[in-house]
Amino acid sequence: MSDAGQKNLPPDSERRRVLRLLGKGSVAAAFAAQIGAAARAFFPNILYEPPTKFKLKRPAEYPPGFTFDTTHRLFVVSENDAFHVISAVCPHLGCTVQWRETEFDCPCHGSRFDPHGSVISGPAPRGLSWLDTGISPDGFLEVDSAVDVAPGFRFAPPKRQV
Ligand code: FES
């Protein structure tokens, strides 16, 4: 090798210092990655879903007829001081059905349901779910969307809460 080529190289001690720093940096980075991976184990991959049991409004706040609840995607039906709740989730592919005065219509693929949620025309494979409905201790309608009840179910809250 010529002298001109060696003039640009750092002296041996400088090269060793740089290599030592790179080595220590690599060890520190690997150690930090291990600590991060171990800390990640304390946060498991869990999908938190909203609770299936939730409160709606007080019974007296619902006018007679069908009231759509956008938050929970359901219809509260008030008839003669009794209530039932019908899911607005289409059993075909999960679109939100709409109430059209005499029937529920699904805007996605055209399923139609009667006022009780029974299928008038498909492609929905079954009717809309009727959801378990009751009253909370503090006087709000309470629904458990994980529990279906038979169509025809009615909940009549105690008179003082209507
Ligand atoms: S999602 Fe309602 S008909 Fe397809």
User: Going along 70-160, which residue ranges are E strands?
Assistant: 74-79, 82-87, 98-99, 104-105, 112-113, 119-121, 130-135, 141-149
CATH of the domain at 125: 2.102.10.10
Tell me if 35 is assigned to some domain: yes
Same structural domain, 59 and 135: yes
Tell me if 23 is assigned to some domain: yes
Atom of ligand 1 nearest to the CA of 90: 2
The residue whose C-alpha atom lies closest to atom 3 belonging to ligand 1 is: 109
Task: Note the pTM of the prediction, 2 decimals.
Answer: 0.67
Beta bridge mates, 132: 144
Atom of ligand 1 nearest to the CA of 109: 3
Same structural domain, 131 and 102: yes
Atom of ligand 1 nearest to the CA of 106: 2
Tell me if 101 is assigned to some domain: yes
Domain count within the chain: 2
Residues 6 or more apart from 146 whose CB is under 8 A from it? Answer: 52, 53
Tell me if 46 is assigned to some domain: no
CA distance 77 to 156: 12
Q: How far is the CA of 76 from the centre of ligand 1 (A)?
A: 21
Q: Which of 93, 97, 103 to mutate to test the pocket of ligand 1 (most atoms within 8 A of CB)?
A: 93
Q: Which domain holds residue 124?
A: 53-161
- What confidence tens digit (pLDDT) does each residue in 79-136 have? 888 899 999 999 999 999 999 989 999 999 999 999 999 999 889 999 999 999 988 9
**Nearest residue to 85 via CA among 111, 55, 112:** 55
With bands split at pLDDT 50, 70 and 90, how would you rate the model's confidence at 2? Answer: very low
Tell me if 47 is assigned to some domain: no
**Nearest residue to 96 via CA among 145, 86, 52, 116:** 86
- What confidence tens digit (pLDDT) does each residue in 11-70 have? 788 888 999 999 999 999 999 999 988 888 888 788 888 888 999 999 989 999 999 999
With bands split at pLDDT 50, 70 and 90, how would you rate the model's confidence at 1? Answer: very low
Q: How far is the CA of 154 from the centre of ligand 1 (A)?
A: 26
Q: How far is the CA of 123 from the centre of ligand 1 (A)?
A: 7
The residue whose C-alpha atom lies closest to atom 1 belonging to ligand 1 is: 93
From first CA to last CA, the distance across the chain in angstroms is 99
